[in-house]
Amino acid sequence: MTHDEILAKLHAKFGETFTTSEFRDNRRIIVPAERVYAVLEFLKEQCGFDMLVELGGADYLHYPHATDRYGVWYVLVNTTTGVRLIVKTFTNDPEPTLPSVFALWKGADWMEREVYDMYGVVFDGHPDLRRILLPDEFTAFPLRKDYPMRGRGERHNFPVITRPES
């Protein structure tokens, strides 16, 4: 199944609720957050995208001409034909929320936790949404653009052990 056939199928099912774009060999469809689960489910069940290769997020705070703050992308692959498709969606403050796709691809588990850890995007329906890379006590979301690269001093906040004490 080529990209055009997939897009035709999607149009037949979802009408004009999504937009498409293309850059080099990346084919993308941009879906509003409330439709994203339905679209992904359709892609998995009907179009044979059985592998979720990558799930990541970005903060578009200072991005030129950006209208939404958080973007999340899903790179899908059909392992029999090798076709790739990128599904993108956006969400916004104050409570960025997206549906979890754990029920479709178990591989999404940690990738969603990482996006939550880095951006604070909550994935509804995720079975175990905790911080994954940073300590549980950490309060900020470090990959947001309003968080300074050197942190807010968390890295200096430890007791000192001197020679005689040890």
Partner 1 sequence: MPLELADAIALPEGPEREYLWTLNFGPQHPATHTTLRIILTLDGETIVKAVPDIGYLHSGFEKLGEHLDYNQYVTIVDRKNYISPVANEIAWFAAVEKLMGIELTPRCKYLRVIFNELMRIHDHLLCCGAAALDLGGFTAFLYAFNQKEKIYDICERAAGQRFHPSYLRVGGLLADVDDIWIDMVRKFVRDFPKAWNDIVRLLNRNRIFIERTKDIGVLSKEDAINLSCTGPIARASGVVRDLRKDEPYLAYRDFDFKVVCAREGDCYARYLVRMEEMLESCKIIHQAIENLPPGPVNVDANSKVTMPNQLAVYRSIEGLIHHFELIMSNRQWHTPVEEVYAAIESPNGELGYYVIADGSGVAYRTRTRPPSFIHFAVFPYLIVGHQISDVVAVLGSLNIIAAELDR
Partner 2 sequence: MALAGVSESVMVTQLDKLANWVRKNSLWPMPFATACCGIELMATGASRHDIARFGAEAMRFSPRQCDLMIVAGRIAMKMLPVLQRIWLQMPEPKWCISMGACASSGGVFDTYAVVQGIDRFIPVDVYVPGCPPRPEQLLRSVLDLQEKIQRTGTLMGKEFQEQRLWPHPPRPLAIELPPAEEIVAPGDFTSATRLQADGRP
| Binding positions for partner 1, rule: CB under 8 A | 23-26, 50-54, 56-59, 62-65, 73, 75, 79, 82, 86, 105-111, 114, 118, 128, 130-136, 142-143, 149
Nearest one of 101, 93, 10 to 47, comparing CA atoms: 10
* 82 CB-side CA count, 13 A: 1
95 binds partner 2 (CB under 8 A): no
Residue of 94, 127, 135, 139 that binds partner 2 (CB under 8 A): 135
Token representation of residue 2: 């080529």
* HSE (side-chain half, CA atoms, 13 Å) at 108: 28
164: partner contacted, choices partner 2, partner 1, none (Cβ within 5-8 A by kind): partner 2
Of the pair 13, 145, the CB lying nearest partner 2 is at 145
Residue 63, binding choice from partner 2, partner 1, none, Cβ under 5 to 8 Å by partner class:
partner 1
* Closer residue to partner 1 in complex, CB, 38/132: 132
- Burial of 6 (C-beta count, 10 Å sphere; 0-12/13-18/19+): buried
